[in-house]
Structure 1
Amino acid sequence: MKTKTDLILTTMKVIFWVVFIGLCIKTGALLISFIVSLAINPEASKNLYLGLNLSELYHSNLKHYIFIFSFVFSLSALKTYLSFLALKIFTKINLEKPFSTKAAELINKISLIALGTGILAFIASKYNFWLIRSKESILETNFYFEGWKEFLFLAGILFIIAQVYKKGVALQTENELTV
């Protein structure tokens, strides 16, 4: 009979897989629609993904269009990669001996990716604000650049957890040597 923890972990693993697949689809759809808008049909810039309309920016300044889309795509790709790393944790953690070097490295890597995502979202948000202020375009892309504070906060929490985890690895290794 499974314990309650095993059931929760299995449920979380399924949810993480669903999120990962959804983010992969979103990132792929963004990339394909961007390529179509540049190479085949500029009208595709009206609905890049779920109502993302950058057609005004496309027609007024192609350079800003590419920059804004690059931010949207990069943030989506980083979120996808974060969900992949979160899935990878399930393969690295053994509840019998929870502290391993690989898991500690993975948690540290996730904190660094979260930090990078937060910084990139902050830069994208400020660039978007600058475009709106300079009347270059009226963009409704704030939705894609929100959350930079949360990512920075997440990065800080995960960094602390990574440090505690590293200490746990050291203590577990020391304990195994003394037995």
Structure 2
Amino acid sequence: MKTEKLLKIMYVFAWLAFIGLCIQTGAILISYFVSYSNPEASKDVFGGLNLYEYYNYSFYQYSLIIIYKVILFASEAYIAFILIKLLKDLDINNPFNKKVSSLMQKTSFSIFFLWIIAIIHNTHIQFIGKKQGFEMELFSSDFVFLAAVIFIFTKIVQRGIELQTENDLTI
């Protein structure tokens, strides 16, 4: 009973995260299009993110940074959406099934993709920052560990499915 309540609470939080990340992604895109005609808008793209120096240095570089940010936040929103589907479809009485395994594997691969984009973003930012003397907050790149943990859990669930199938065939 406690587990079901906890899963319902997590389901609500997953929806809140998904909605928040979608809003953040949309706000960055809107700010980018506004900054196209009004460079002052690049001073506060979203949540205090100031890309004005990058805008003045090169609109192309500024656009790349925006693309990275959009991909990063959209990827996080996608991961939250997968989590929503996982929590919605999770049957606590029969947790080992192919749908759960598939969603866990998608989550793992999506987090790994997020890590790759974060590394590319951070490398790009550091390269330009050192070259031009700009400072900007880097995107956390701790995702590879999380992706590995989820991938391992996916393999455990897949093994549970195999054992459950063998057990069903035996009976």
TM range (shorter): over 0.9
Residue 124 of structure 1: aligned partner: 121
For 2:131 and 2:67, locate their aligned partners in 1 and report how far apart those are by CA, in whole Å: 20
For 2:23 and 2:31, locate their aligned partners in 1 and report how far apart those are by CA, in whole Å: 12
For 1:164 and 1:55, locate their aligned partners in 2 and report how far apart those are by CA, in whole Å: 47
Correspondent of 1:138 among 121, 134, 139: 134
Unaligned runs of 5+ in 2: none
For 1:92 and 1:169, locate their aligned partners in 2 and report how far apart those are by CA, in whole Å: 16
Residue 32 of structure 1: aligned partner: 30
1:41 is displaced (CA, Å) by 2.1
Establish whether residue 168 from structure 1 lines up as the match of residue 160 from structure 2: yes
- Give me the TM-score of the superposition, normalised by structure 1: 0.91
1:92 is displaced (CA, Å) by 2.1
Cα displacement string for residues 39-87 of structure 1 (whole angstroms, at most 9, x for unaligned residues): x322211111011111121122111111111111111111111111111
Please list, as runs of the form range in 1=range in 2, the aligned pairs for 1:52-71 lying within 5 A after superposition. Answer: 52-71=49-68
Q: Which runs of 4+ in 1 moved over 4 A?
A: none
Secondary structure in 2 matching 1:134 = helix
- Give me the TM-score of the superposition, normalised by structure 2: 0.95
The answer to whether the Cα contact below 8 Å between 1:54 and 1:139 also exists between their aligned partners in 2 is no
- The code of the aligned residue for 1:27 comes to T
Let me know the Cα RMSD of the aligned residues.
1.2
Quick one: percent identity of the two aligned structures? 37
Residue 6 of structure 2: aligned partner: 8
